[in-house]
Chains A and B, each alone.
Chain A
Amino acid sequence: MDRIKRDNFLENIIYFMVVLSVTLFILYPFLAVFREAFFKDGSFNFEGFSVFFARDSKLIKNSLMTGVYTVVLTSILSISIAVYVYFKGKKVEKIVFAFLMLTMISPPFVTSLSYIEMFGKRGFITHDIFGLTLNTYGMVGIILMQSIGSVSLNTILILSGLRRIDPNIILSAKDLGASTGEIIWSILIPILKKTIAVSAVLTFVRSLSDFSTPAIIGGSFSTLATEAYLNMIAYGNLNYASVINVVLFVPAFIAYLFYRKSIKEELDSTGEAHMEVELGDKGILFNIITFISIFTLFWIGIQYGGILFSAFSRKQAGVPYFTVSNFIEAKPYLSQTLIRSLIYSFFSAGVGSVIGLLIGHFLVIRKKKLMGAVDFVSMMPYIIPGSFFGIGYILAFRSEPIHLTGTAAIVVLNMLFRQLPFSSKLGVEITSAIPKSETSAIRDLGGTGFNIFLDSVFPNAKDNLAMAFANSFSQSMTTIGSIIFLVYPSQKVLTLVMFDAIQSGKYNVGSALAIVIILITASMNLLVRFLLKRRRV
């Protein structure tokens, strides 16, 4: 009896802490932004919004258009690559995923920089090779770069959707004489509709909240996220920055509601064992898909090749030469920040993935009352822009009762809760996949909720937990959007010094730092994969 009491008490404390932490570190800062936007000196004030709609309402159009086009382009690219990989089998998959991995684990703005060097007005490829002088600033550039950034995640989502399709459907369609094009167009894509919709929403939301790409290659084209950032950084206008963030929140929130509805249905469908599907005749559609896939991968290759090139080269009178001096110059930047960045990321990823799993446990298995709300709130950081989350933290924690600005804690907490959506989504997925019989068996044997977590949830979750950890770690290592508002001199991290180096015109050193960051995140991801693989054998 004592054991049960103790376990229940412990479990309740943990439950309470999960609810409290999500409330305090997501909901509270979130509401603080609304308070700042709507209230001035204690009374309701709509002034900021009237200024916005009179002066800056076209930003809404800009943001929405960018978002929609990015979604369309990303979807075309990622569906193509996913279908291509699906039919090409394991070997191709490995190569393709290595490429895609790059875009997922590298800092956000480096591609925009190499984009200018490659495709700008006097870009290496457009101008020097093809003799074109294109003005690639503006919406087109933003859409291209955001698509490159989103294509990996979407491809992975769509491919896992494809894997859930019963291969027999395809085989029997083939037996009945359907061409490859027909199989793709009339069978695969309709079945994938939901998955595509989900990934489209994620892309849309990411595009809305991205401020750095438009800031670097937007030219005179500005978006809501960029203006929110500028109002904070350049004009110190917290009220107006909050107003823009609130406006930005509306479409993101609508998309999110749609996403929640779709993801539920998505989760209900269970996976099938994958079987390699051989295609005989390729057909026109498949050739187009192949072309798009190879073109996209080639492009990603060029962009990252550009970063590699600038990391290992310098110029003399416009002529580049090979050198490692960029890495030598990068050393002082690294010595101050490397260890700190690793610790911050390790901690936020470790705790974050455990909290994510706990959310799954309390929501799906223990069916606690408040958990529906907690789950909903825990997804918020995904849809609100980094500046929103950063400003929210300043507003919420700049004074008593919880005064955290200037501490390491606020930076780590911000990273942790910003990455929580992925971990909590995985946590819910993991716990949903646990057979009811297993948890009820533990209960029948007198086990407590605590036992269920330790003996069922946790062992079932190990692989995914490691995935959640690797993902959060990479995101924390590369994040800049929200912590840029929170860091004090003694909390400087690696992405910030890279941002600095690039800001002060040291492209080459910045590229060298980007390579270091990519190497760290890549090793962490490979290590996790390796450990998982070895255990399975």
Chain B
Amino acid sequence: MMIFERREEMKRILAFLLALVMIFSITACTGKEKEEAALEVTEVETEEATEEAKEEETPEPEKVDFTGRTMNVVATSDKYVTLFDKFTQETGAKVEFLSMSSGEVLSRVEAEGGTPMADLWFGGGLDAFMDAKAKGFLESFEVPEAADVPAEYKDPEGFWYSKGLTVVGFLLNDKVIAEKGFKAPETWADLADPIYKDEIIMSNPAISGTNYAAVKGIIDMMGEDAAWDYFAKLNDNIPYYGKRGKDPQEKTVAGEFAIGIIPVDKSAFDAAAENGLTVVYPTDGIPWVPEGVAVFKGSENADVAKEFVNFMLRPDNQQIVAELDGKDSAQLIKPGVEGLSLGLPQDKLVKQELATFGEQREAILNRWKELTGDK
């Protein structure tokens, strides 16, 4: 009797489990189809919505409709949701994105033999984009909105565009500086002073585009030989290099270090306000790097991605980018767009040789590795 009951119950559970397994194999393995199906359902609604919208405002002449499509994006951060949402509103294309640093994107695409891992690559140090162009991972295209962007902020052959500049500065932990009795550093040259030993952190430039920009910028600023002498001294003050892009900011905030070498934007100023820190633009020169935007060659929705690049370069959207990125006006690439006022002294930006940014990357990183070992 007992056994019989148990068996019955067991059969029910088994049937349930099998059903579950089947349901989930369908949902998981045909996830794509499901998404498409779901999109078909929403299509009707969005069409209605866009029609309504069309009645209200005069549509722009080149209005495109990507309803039912999904643009996949690898972006440096998740902060661009607002911009993506606006794109969805205007064109109907859904946006899925994943945050990855630019070096990582390059590594992944290489590892997978050039298979595009998304449609759009949004943000990250230009060096990786230049490298990707050389390796044939990117698609060349032109967009009308890029016409008035200065030549140094777009690839002459249209393989990449820029969305703004990252500038490099210092984050100082006031408490630690006071505790140690330091004078607050103002220049790159200051950082070589042995009193700062073990109190400076920067990220491995192979990982962090920002810190690669710092290295490259200092080379362009001081000249090859002087720069490497300087790095040797700086290296003595740095106990180890962060293995993640945000390490310097996080660890300076936590008080682990007095000085962090960071990308300066509004979020740095916010973190400074929250935690009692100071942001410094070095007075002997501010290294910078354009952040790239590109479309992967052979990707499924390349047309949507290209449209997005055009959309993103429109002045009203550049305004949004400036706000999302927390950029000073001097960090913007589109003429006539106003950014925030963070006090970035434009004249202090290092005269940088952008052309050699990508091609020297490997040589610089190798020499860097020789100098620093694997700390």
Contacts and interface: CB of A to CB of B under 8 A. Distances in A.
B249 A505 contact: yes
B74 interface: yes
A406 B374 contact: no
Interface string B158-185: 0000000000000000011000000000
B354 interface: no
Interface string A454-497: 11001100100000000000000000000001011110100011
Contact of A398 (B20, B79, B113, B276): B113
A144 interface: no
A27 interface: no
Nearest to B274: A315
Interface string A328-372: 000011001000000110110011001000000000000000000
Interface stretch (B53-61, B223-231, B252-260, B327-335): B252-260
Interface in B198-256: 204, 206-207, 239-241, 243-246, 249-251, 253-256
B358 interface: no
A346 B23 CA distance: 11
A431 to B, nearest CB: 16
Interface in B58-72: 70, 72
Interface string B99-111: 1000110111011
Contact of A234 (B17, B207, B253, B267): B207
B143 interface: no
Nearest to B31: A408
B349 to A, nearest CB: 24
Chain A residues touching B, majority SS? helix
Contact of A233 (B29, B103, B251): B103
A316 interface: yes
Given A236-B110, A398-B112, A408-B31, A490 B99 contact: no
B254 A117 contact: yes
Nearest to B76: A504
B28 A233 contact: no
B21 A350 contact: yes
A478 B29 CA distance: 21
A386 interface: no
Interface stretch (B7-15, B42-50, B147-155, B189-197): B7-15
A220 B255 CA distance: 18
A315 B275 contact: yes
A314 interface: yes
Interface stretch (A66-74, A165-173, A224-232): A224-232
B78 A399 contact: no
Contacts of B32: 407-408
Contacts of A177: none
Interface stretch (A119-127, A178-186, A261-269): A119-127
Contact of A504 (B31, B78, B112, B374): B78
Contacts of A409: 28-29
B246 A232 contact: no
Nearest to B29: A409
A11 to B, nearest CB: 15
A268 B32 CA distance: 48
A343 B27 contact: yes
Nearest to A133: B179
B245 A332 contact: no
Contacts of A350: 17, 20-21, 24
B273 A234 contact: no
A346 B24 contact: yes
A504 B240 contact: no
B87 to A, nearest CB: 14
A190 interface: no
B28 A489 contact: no
A56 B374 contact: yes
B107 A235 contact: yes
A504 B239 contact: no
A120 B77 contact: no
B207 A500 contact: no
A507 B250 contact: yes
A137 B201 CA distance: 13
A234 B240 contact: no
A347 B22 CA distance: 9
Given A122-B255, A354-B21, A489-B97, A505 B250 contact: yes
A450 to B, nearest CB: 12
Contact of A236 (B107, B249, B254, B274): B107
B25 interface: yes
A398 B267 CA distance: 38
Given A121-B255, A234-B206, A504-B246, A455 B7 contact: yes
Contacts of B98: 487-489, 492, 496
A406 B115 contact: yes
A120 to B, nearest CB: 5
Interface of B: 6-7, 10-11, 13-14, 17, 20-21, 24-25, 27-29, 31-32, 35, 70, 72-74, 77-79, 81, 96-99, 103-104, 106-108, 110-113, 115, 117-118, 175-176, 204, 206-207, 239-241, 243-246, 249-251, 253-257, 267, 271, 273-276, 374-375
9 contacts: A137-B256, A226-B243, A233-B103, A235-B107, A350-B20, A459-B7, A489-B98, A505-B250, A507-B250
